[in-house]
Structure 1
Amino acid sequence: MSLRDFPCRDTTVDLGSRTARVHVRGRGVLAVPSLLATSAQTGGFLAAGEKALAIRAQTPGDVLFSWPFEGGVPADPQAVQWLLRHLLRIAHRRRYLANPRLALAVPSQITDVQLRALSAAATSVGARWLAMVPVPLAAAIGAGLPLDEPRAVMVVDLGAVVTDIAVMSLGSIAAARTVRVGGQDLDEAIARHVREEKGVLLGADVAATLKARFGAGPQRGFASAPFLVHGRDSDNGLPRPVMLSPADVTAAVSGPLDTLMEAIRTTLAACPPDMVCDLARDGVTLTGGGARLAGLTALVQARTGLPARVAGDDPANVVVLGAAELLEHARDFRRRRVPHRDRRQGFMAAPRRL
């Protein structure tokens, strides 16, 4: 037995744009900020995850920060390799002997070039086996949807930067669309609206609080009352309180939400009529960190005519848990050994698409 074949727990990674989720068999899910810190002078790796966030809070001028999994696809192959290695090390609690079977949850519309870049990065960090699982497929499995039946199911996975939409039947994707709208766009839309209409600059945390409180529209109960927040006056730079109503937040997030609803309708338009009939009965399943946005299910139902529900008690972990379940039953789906570097030839064979 070679060192590369050393037994190791199966590992699944959800390549979130702002938070990567790692599942290790028998150990549960670990959420790690997918932030990387590199030296501005040498370009070398400095820190990742929580340590990178701590460095960022100090705002040093000689450190560069990046999100290697922007939109779930590799922006910089070297940065992706560093971050994947960091995720495996903290998840397996050891430094060098982590050579697991690995499953990566990737967007449904990822390109072949991006797949090869991820495969090369996974190979370099020690993956023995590799599976690329489309996010909607993993989300459907994690949500317990009946993929082995002919009736159609629809999943909308809302992330921080992108939303993955797909209609599936019999374990295959019939129609899919990836739109660059996520929870971060809602935060930025709220901050921009308050700056333009009220003349107050809000921090990212305050905008996120407003999004969580008011959601996609006016809510019943205490959340419908105006909310006092503090920001900075855009003219004189002094602290300034401002009272915001649900109507203010609704107007602010209407743009990104309209784009999201249009993407859902476009995906439905690409489906055969029989599938749409199935969806009229079973509805849309919302997953991802943005699925819990207050009023979102009602908005989806009003704009599409389809019933909507949030998957489980923790929709943010549905994708990584579904991919982990698929990896656990790896004998039931196609897999292949990841080719490793041939030192005599001096190159790495390009893995095929899974």
Structure 2
Amino acid sequence: MGFRSYFYRDIAVDLGTANTLIIQNDKIVVDEPSIIAIDRNTSKMIAVGKVAMQMHEKTHDTIKTIRPLKDGVIADYHAAELMIQGMIKMLHKKKICFFTPFFNTIIICIPSGTTDVEKRAVRDSAAHTGAKEVYMIYEPIAAAIGIGVNIADPVGCMVVDIGGGTTEIAIISLAGIACNQSIKVAGNAFNMDILDHMRKQHNLLIGERTAEQIKLTIGAVWTDLNDPPPDYAVYGKDLLTGIPKIISVSYRAIATALEESISKIDNAVLKALEMAPPELASDIYKNGIHLVGGGALLRGLDKRLHSITNLPVHIAEDPLQAVVRGTGIALKNKEIYRSVLMG
């Protein structure tokens, strides 16, 4: 390993509302929840990622947990900087070195509906790590690259990326987004739907972490699954008595709870298809819709979209990592993907 490759490193970052992933040399080196814990008195960061998530909703007066991103963009600039720095320190700990490495290039993916102000916030946060070059790439384009699509081809490719804060729907052709829809309905909204369902239907108060676990374990959007998961035991607090209790919940109940949010995604997919030029529409009819992001793991989502659009629906082999892998490929081949990188 030469001097430059040892001290100057390039990384690709999927700065997500729910999770942040960092890839380096084709390997995912950081995969952590996008959350930090800080000391209220000193404003210093106590923990980041999984350790901070374990503290979430269990803190006392001197500790506060913060999710720096909301709806796919930075909501708390200072907390975002602390989180990015904390994630990068994790990267350093994985290497045995006597000097802190410098970053030559960082590529960060962003939602396609990001405003100029929001782009500047992302760019500045990354620049404060000391990187010489900071680029951004739209999430649907990164996802398409990550699932093996040649985005430069004159062939339409439709990507539906359901993340933590936003759902990105884009039709890509000739290394650009021909038409897209970006809605602020995604994984976090699903958690709130589940939380509300438990409160209204069972008088049970649960936390965000429990709602997330329910979604991961029995989350579904189709009420007639061929291989249904067993009912899930949910622990919470009875709203009437204030005493902890347990109830059993089925995947069908969760599908009902998520109906309103999933319907918004259905409508956004249909709207994107309506906007597509005829020639691109014919490509999509042949190639289908590609699902990526954590929301792609909801049981029955592919069947639901197929029933609505009558198009083939493909779930990415590893939907959670498709975006960061695509960002990593763009990082490795900067000259090839120069047209889709924003400085």
- TM-score, length basis structure 2: 0.88
CA drift of 1:221 comes to 5.1
Letter in 1 for 2:242: G
Q: Answer yes or no: is 1:188 the counterpart of 2:192.
A: yes
Deviation, structure 1 residue 154: 0.7
| Amino acid paired to 2:193 | A
Match of 2:206 among 202, 211, 236: 202
Distance (whole Å) between structure 1 residues aligned to residue 5 and residue 128 of structure 2:
15
Give the percent of matched residue pairs that are identical in Structure 1 and Structure 2.
28
Kindly indicate whether residue 314 of structure 2 is the aligned counterpart of residue 332 of structure 1: no
- Which amino acid is 2:320 matched to? A
**What's the offset of the Cα at 1:65?**
2.0
* Alignment partner, residue 53 of structure 1: 53
Q: Give the secondary structure class of the aligned counterpart of 2:43.
A: coil
Amino acid at match of 1:128: K
How does 1:1-354 map onto structure 2 within 5 Å? Answer: 7-56=7-56, 58-93=58-93, 96-211=100-215, 212-220=217-225, 223=228, 227-312=232-317, 314-334=318-338, 353-354=342-343
Q: Does the Cα contact within 8 Å between 2:11 and 2:103 map onto a contact in 1?
A: no
What amino acid does structure 2 have at the position aligned with 1:274?
E
CA separation in 2, counterparts of 1:185 and 1:170?
33
Deviation for aligned residue 1:160: 1.6
In the TM superposition, what is the alpha-carbon distance from 1:146 to its structure 2 partner?
A: 2.8
> Per the alignment, do residues 81 and 46 of structure 1 end up closer, same or farther by CA in structure 2, a change over 3 Å counting?
same
Residues 115 and 353, structure 1, Cα contact 8 Å, conserved in 2: no
Measure how far apart 1:138 and its partner are.
0.4
SS at 1:236 equivalent: coil
On the 8 A contact 1:219/1:294 being kept in 2, the answer is no
Aligned-partner residue type, residue 179 of structure 1? I
Q: Which moved more, 1:75-84 or 1:160-169?
A: 75-84
- Give how far 1:63 is off: 2.3
Please say which of residues 33-42 and 139-148 is displaced more in the overlay. 33-42
Whether the aligned pair in 2 keeps the contact of 1:5 and 1:128 (CA below 8 Å) is: no
- Post-superposition offset of 1:131: 1.4
Give yes or no for contact 1:4–1:99 (8 Å, CA) kept in 2.
Answer: no
Shift of 1:29: 4.0
CA contact (8 A) 1:18 1:33 kept: yes
Structure 1: runs of 5+ lacking an equivalent: 336-351
Could you list the per-position Cα deviations for residues 110-140 of structure 1 after superposition, in whole angstroms to 9, with x for gaps in the alignment? 1111112222222211112221011000000
| Change beyond 3 A, Cα 1:89–1:148 | same
1:341 is matched with which residue? none
Distance 1:298 1:29, change over 3 A: farther
Unaligned runs of 5+ in 2: none
Moved more, 37-46 or 98-107: 37-46
In the TM superposition, structure 1's runs of 4+ consecutive aligned residues that sit over 6 Å from their partners are 3-6
Is the partner of 2:8 in helix, strand or coil?
coil
- Cα deviation for residue 53 of structure 1 reads 2.7
Cα deviation for residue 265 of structure 1 reads 1.4
Contact preservation (8 Å) 1:29, 1:317: no
CA deviation profile, 1:204-263 (whole Å, cap 9, x unmatched): 454344433251122445626655544332211223343434442222110110111111
Q: Distance in 2 between matches of 1:82 and 1:204?
A: 23
Residues 77-114 of structure 1 deviation map (CA, whole Å, 9 limit, x = unaligned): 22222222222221233673332311101111111111
Q: Which residue of 2 is the match for residue 348 of structure 1?
A: none
Q: Distance in 2 between matches of 1:214 and 1:72?
A: 22
Distance 1:112 1:51 in 2: 33
**3-state SS of paired residue (1:167):** strand
How many residues of Structure 1 are paired with residues of Structure 2 in the alignment?
Answer: 335
115-124 or 10-19, which moves further after superposition? 115-124
8 Å contact kept, 2:143–2:159: yes
CA contact (8 A) 1:68 1:75 kept: yes
Alpha-carbon deviation of 1:286?
Answer: 0.6
Q: 1:36 and 1:225, CA in 2 relative to 1: closer, same or farther beyond 3 A?
A: closer
My pick for the range that moved more, 64-73 or 177-186, is 64-73
Out of 36-45 and 155-164, give the one that drifted further. Answer: 36-45
| Cα distance in 1 for residues equivalent to 2:251 and 2:64 | 37
User: In structure 1, what is the Cα distance between the partners aligned to 2:171 and 2:90?
Assistant: 35
- C-alpha separation between the residues in 2 aligned to 1:21 and 1:238? 39
